[in-house]
């Protein structure tokens, strides 16, 4: 299957959107249609087939159709893989990854609940290396990997993936957050911030803060909800249960989607 286009060219030099996982296309057709909207500044979108993530046990016809539309529109699609903070078994991870590559033609993976500490870096490196090898064997030699730490990890993680999610959480925490000094050694295209509960009146402030902190990919929404997996403020804290449905503020379109589209993309700079 022809894979979706690589995100690399889309994430260079301008603030764009990383969509961490809309609800299933059957129940969120408008959301998935908007991703293929001409001119939408989408760096990548994440596909979760069951609500808990992964590729599922068999091809899903609704997800197949959504993936085909995104590929035709040139929007990179990432398969959702849960690293479970580094405790997920390698064979299980690779089986899920192979299904995403073969069934949905993804151009990379969003590695959710990625570990962040120095002690878990070797295991994460091994998982990333195995995924890249799998991609090469399946005809996808240039996988785009996004590590969903949800907080700033040990700097060593920047060497093993194309992008790091260094914030995922509430606007109340994001507006007072700061980026550590080591992030300044890397271009903005290496970092992603995901923020929920942003009031319409603070949208421009949130986008300006993302630029100031050196994030090249963002997703902001006015939706609110308990972070999936029982995550604490700012995306910190343990998350033992799988991410579920009904508590994730990133599963639906923001109420100000048109404003986000008009305020991001290659034509917008600061």
Q: What are the domain boundaries of the chain?
A: 16-263
Q: Model's pTM, two decimal places?
A: 0.88
What Cα–Cα distance (Å) separates residue 90 from each residue in 86, 87, 252, 267?
10, 9, 31, 42
**pLDDT > 60? residue 93:** yes
Tens digit of pLDDT for each residue in 115-153?
A: 999 999 999 999 999 999 999 999 988 999 999 999 999
Q: Grade residue 227 by pLDDT with cuts at 50, 70 and 90.
A: very low
- Tell me the per-residue pLDDT of 229-258, one tens digit each, with 9 for 90 and over: 433 333 333 333 344 445 799 999 999 999
pLDDT of 86: 78
Of the options 3.20.20.70, 3.10.580.10, 3.40.50.300, 3.30.450.20, the CATH number for the domain spanning 16-263: 3.20.20.70
- Between 97 and 51, residue with greater pLDDT: 97
**pLDDT band per the 50, 70, 90 thresholds, residue 50:** confident
First to last CA, the chain: 39
């Amino acid at each position: 299957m022809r894979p979706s286009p690589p995100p690399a060219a889309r994430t260079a030099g301008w603030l764009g959107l990383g969509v961490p996982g809309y609800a299933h296309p059957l129940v969120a057709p408008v959301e998935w249609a908007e991703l293929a909207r001409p001119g939408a500044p989408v760096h990548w979108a994440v596909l979760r087939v069951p609500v808990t993530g992964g590729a599922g046990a068999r091809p899903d016809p609704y997800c197949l159709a959504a993936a085909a539309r995104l590929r035709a529109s040139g929007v990179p699609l990432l398969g959702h893989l849960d690293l479970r903070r580094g405790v997920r078994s390698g064979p299980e991870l690779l089986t899920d990854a192979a299904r995403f590559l073969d069934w949905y033609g993804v151009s990379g993976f969003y590695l959710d609940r990625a570990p962040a500490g120095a002690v878990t870096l070797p295991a994460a490196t091994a998982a990333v290396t195995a995924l890249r090898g799998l991609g090469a064997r399946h005809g996808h030699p240039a996988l785009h990997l996004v590590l969903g730490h949800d907080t700033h990890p040990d700097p060593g993680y920047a060497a093993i993936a194309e992008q790091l999610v260094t914030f995922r959480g509430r606007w109340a925490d994001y507006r007072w957050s700061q980026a550590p000094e080591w992030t300044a050694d890397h271009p903005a295209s290496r970092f992603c911030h995901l923020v929920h509960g942003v009031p319409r009146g603070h949208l421009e402030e949130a986008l300006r803060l993302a630029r100031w902190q050196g994030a090249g990919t963002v997703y902001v929404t006015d939706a609110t909800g308990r972070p999936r997996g029982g995550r604490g403020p700012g995306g910190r804290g343990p998350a033992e249960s799988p991410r579920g449905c009904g508590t994730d503020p990133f599963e639906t379109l923001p109420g100000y989607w048109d404003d986000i589209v008009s305020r991001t993309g290659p034509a917008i700079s600061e």
